[in-house]
A and B are shown apart, each in its own frame.
Chain A
Amino acid sequence: MAPWTVNDQRIPQGRLALISYLSVILVLLLMVGFWKLQVVQSGHFVDLAERNRVRSIPIIAPRGPMLDREGRILVDSYPSFSILLLREDMKAVEKSLPQIEEGLGIGRNDVMDQLDAARNEPKFQPIVIKPAASVADIAFVESHRADLPVLELMMVQRRRYQLGDMLANGIGYVGEVSAHELERSDGHYRPGDIVGKAGLEKQYNDVLEGTDGMRRVVVNSVGKVMRTLDNVEAVPGKPIQLTIDYDLQVAAETAMAGKEGSVVAMDARTGEVLAMVSRPTFDPNDFAVRIQQSQWDKLNNDPETPLLNRAIQAQLAPGSVFKIVMATAMLETKAVPETLTEYCPGYATFYGRMFKCHVYGKGAGHGEVDFHKAIVQSCDVYFYNVGKLLGIDRISKYATGLGLGRRTGIDLPSEESGLVPSEEWAERVLHRKWYAGETISVSVGQGAVTTTPIQLARMIAGVASGGAFVQPHLLKNFPNPRVDHFDLSDATVEKVTQGMYGVVNEGGTAAGARLQNIEFCGKSGSAQVIGYDVRNRLGKQREFKDNAWFVGYAPRRNPEVVVAVLVQGGEHGGAVAGPIARDVVKTYYDKKNARSQEQASNESPAQPGVPRPIAATVGGQHP
């Protein structure tokens, strides 16, 4: 045996015992450690574990459809698939990029950009790399389930605008919720949610949007769905019925084909908007998927402003339509004798400056002009004098009283107020005194005064109704539409409406708009496009062309329907805008007559309010 094996039998019993005690202490410490995690903090970790394996996948609620006043579907939703990229396992994503590029045609850089844009969102939230997947795309994802686990399909609901670009500015469009909206919603929205961005889609978003459902699924550590735990079905958004009459809308759109401007048709008694056209416009179906940045920029930077709803946002000089305000103020205030007559040689001079009548340079002037003829022939000289006698403050008071210079309260976002100038306004905004010469321009609806088409429709309807100015609205059962009363004497209403009757029916400025058997009245206007900036924006070819206005209604007293027409660069209000208003009013009466005939021949009238798709008649747009 080797020398070392001389056995040393001194066993260090004490030290061995010490090691035993130390072991007991260490095991107890470990137990304390486990106790802290498993008993003290258990709840916290149960939450984390739950979040780890249970994931909530939203089931998108379809937005509510929009129906016209007769229940015809104008806007609805259809299901479509989006392709999602699960990005929890970046290595797997990285590996899949070449296949994704080949199969879905989404380039590596494109995917990387989208991943970068979503870098602040939690990793477990997949990103949409392809909205509106084609059948081929879906087939690709389905057939590569095994080798491309990072791809997933999600059913979404997309907006379908059956009318295409008709009523587009009124309907508006939807889009992904913005960062700002997200913040303000207080957790109501998640990134990628679709919300109304403009028009009725925005105004009635709360009604239309419904409540998304939730599918709770178990996922494994790479985020792959293992099985479904439960489903909370989506609650579809509620439908909204509009006051729009599809037939009138089509008539108005057809009449405006190729023109720039706006048409607003309204029930003069209730404020129900029957048709609303704004041109040029856009197709909201383009927004229903994911609008390309280039397309969005194009729409936004287009000098013809297709996104502007001219019916409520175009603030333009009303031209001679404003003479109805002047005539009303003249008769009501009695500051000007109603027997006033003026001689019109085609121009007049005030404060050393010549003001032309619209007939200037076309032969003789209007000659001897009284109140009635002044409206029928739209004599500027007559109203220059009226304006001079009234003064800007009376004009301002009446213009405001008849609803100009302030919002009508229509149920659409971003309505503009127009402008009614006054001495106070000049001082407050322009920091200078009001010049008396400016009153002369304002008297014929030029100068600083601007209005929107909806304001003029409401103004004319209100005057012809004896001073009841209704709140325009697009929602069929709009709760308590406001009615502003501005008392007008019956004599005034009678005289003014007689004048507007003459405009159409007595060889006035809109004689071409006459209708058989219908008391179609109205007032034309041809307004200079003011401001060099506006001219430059609108382009050179129409630089000097006037805007054509016509606001027509029927019947003469207590009208049923009022139509405001604006044709930008149309030059002649009566001749260009008048026939458009006439077409709409004619359609209105044709329908009304057909309905009463139907009722006469049939004891039981057709059931109203049953939704009927109009795809057959319009050829619905399927994006």
Chain B
Amino acid sequence: MREGPRIQDFDWTLMAIVCAITGVGVLEIYSSTHASAPMAGLQWRQLMWVGLGIAGMFIISRIDYHTLLDQAPVFYMVGVASLLLVLAIGHSKFGAKRWVGIGGFNLQVSELMKLIIIIVLARYFSEVRTDRLTLTDLLKVAVMTLIPVGLILKQPDLGTAMVLVPVAVVGAFLAGIDWKHALVGVVLLGLLIPLGWNMRRHLKPYQQQRLQTFLHPEEDQRGAGYQILQSEIAVGSGGFWGKGFGKGSQNQLGFVPVRYSDFILAALAEEQGFIGVCVVLLLYLGLILRLVDNAQKAKDRAGVYVVMGVTAILGFHVLVNAAMVIGYVPVTGIPLPLMSYGGSATAFVFLALGLVMNVRMRRFVN
């Protein structure tokens, strides 16, 4: 047993996978934007965010996660207060009040909330000493999760709000859940869908439209259904081998919506083909498996929950984003981690990975 973390304990394999995915992402951002003047050079900005993210990752890995978990209630309060602040003063962008101006940069508070919910739920689950979660435990977890979910939904940002849920689900699964409770949970979720359907009148117009176009894409040739269709055309026309770097017509001529961000996988699928998609998906699978491996090697349950919270969010992002690009789920605005262009989203991923490194580096530390 050693006294402190060592640099050798840093997960270099995970880092290699992360760098590979980031590299592919930066190249695809370059390919997607170099031809359109106002966005040319976006890859450099993305690289800057990656650099900042890596720095943040090292910093967060230095702080013992137990110390972070100690402060969980404080983080939670700060997080919820920030979300309320965003609702109160945040300015609108893309129809959503997600952004709060901080020092010239826009930081999405909800990204921060993802980190906070990981820490808060890790803290909660590690305090459970029983083999199974009691109903009271589950209700507490639900309330803790649903408060920020509700606040983010109010912004409104359906995608980010949904992302918080898997942290709780995976945590509960690992902590041990009575199968009856699990069944009730599934049934409740099942009931939520028709309820949500009946509540659709209360959705924002853009959400109604997204839902509508997901159900009937052919009726809307210019809105969200158009986006899904164009994305599918990009993916499908890429074929097995792809059209080549910088040669995807759907991508280059701007048919693929936000091709450098949420739909970057469509752009990649068009230019690099099924082969390219497989490589990227396998890289993500490698990332997930490596994260689970880290969880398995964690020193204590707290570490497991921290790592698996990160895994849950990243996995959910990848799954939903890839499914959206091929038209299996509605457009919800969930970016592809490490590949999609975006400052706070990229920063979040590296900070979250910092937490994972944190756990790994302390596996042999007492």
**Chain A neighbourhood of B237, CB < 8 A:** 42, 45-46, 48-50
Is A402 part of the contact surface with B, judged by Cβ < 8 Å? no
Within 8 A of A (CB), among B261-289: 269, 273-274, 277-278, 281-282, 284-285, 288-289
Number of residues from B at the complex interface, CB < 8 A = 57
B236 vs chain A, min Cβ distance (A): 3
Bound-state Cα–Cα, A15 to B173, Å: 8
Q: What CA separation (Å) do A574 and B75 show in the bound complex?
A: 114
Which residues of chain A come closer than 8 Å to B156, judged between CB atoms?
none
Interface status of B9 (Cβ within 8 A of chain A): no
CA distance A509 to B208 in the complex (A): 88
Q: Is the CB of B277 within 8 A of A38?
A: yes
Q: Which residues of A contact B299 (CB under 8 A)?
A: 7, 9
Check A4/B277 contact, CB under 8 A, given A16-B174, A23-B289: no
In the complex where A30-B323, A42-B237, A42-B240 touch, is A53 in contact with B253 (Cβ < 8 A)? yes
Residue of B nearest to A24 (CB): B285
Asked whether any CB of chain A lies closer than 8 Å to the CB of B213, the reply is: no
Q: Looking at the complex, which one of B70, B236, B285, B288 makes contact with A42 (CB distance below 8 Å)?
A: B236
Instruction: Please pick, from A11, A24, A37, A220, the residue contacting B232 in the complex, using a CB distance under 8 A.
Output: A37
For the complex, give the distance between the alpha carbons of A37 and B222 in Å. 21
Residues 174-231 (chain A) with a chain B CB within 8 angstroms: 218-222, 226
Residues of chain A lying within 8 A (CB to CB) of residue B281? 27, 30-31, 34
Chain A 157-174 per-residue mask, 1 if CB under 8 angstroms from chain B, else 0: 000000000000000000
Q: Is the interface of A mostly helix, strand, loop or mixed?
A: helix
Residue numbers in B under 8 Å from A4 (CB-CB)? 69, 123, 126-127
Contact A38 B328 (CB under 8 A): no
Q: Choose one: B70, B175, B239; the contact of A39 (CB below 8 Å).
A: B239
Measured in the bound complex, the distance between the Cα atoms of B69 and A19 in whole Å is: 24
CB distance from B283 to the nearest CB of A (A): 10
Contact with A along B109-150 (1 / 0, CB 8 A): 000000000000001001101000000000000000000000
Chain A residues with a Cβ closer than 8 Å to the other chain, count: 47
Residue of A nearest to B296 (CB): A16
Which B residues are CB-close (under 8 A) to A44? 236
Q: Mark B54-81, 1 if CB is under 8 A from A, else 0.
A: 0000000000001001100000000000
Residue B219 interfacial (CB < 8 Å) = no
Closest to A46 in B: B237
Given known contacts A49-B233, A220-B253, A23 and B174 CB-to-CB distance under 8 angstroms = no
Q: If the complex has contacts A4-B127, A38-B235, A49-B233, are A11 and B273 also in contact, measured as CB distance less than 8 A?
A: no
* 3 nearest A-B pairs in the assembled complex, by CB-CB distance: A45-B236, A49-B237, A7-B300
Additional 6 contacts, C-beta under 8 A, given A12-B174, A90-B222: A8-B126, A20-B289, A30-B281, A46-B236, A48-B236, A221-B254
- Report which A residues bind B (CB closer than 8 A): 1-2, 4-5, 7-13, 15-17, 19-20, 23-24, 26-27, 30-31, 33-39, 41-42, 44-46, 48-50, 52-53, 90, 123, 218-222, 226
15 A-B residue pairs with Cβ-Cβ distance under 8 Å, sorted by A, are A7-B299, A9-B299, A13-B296, A15-B174, A16-B308, A17-B292, A19-B173, A23-B285, A27-B284, A30-B323, A37-B326, A45-B233, A46-B236, A49-B234, A52-B249
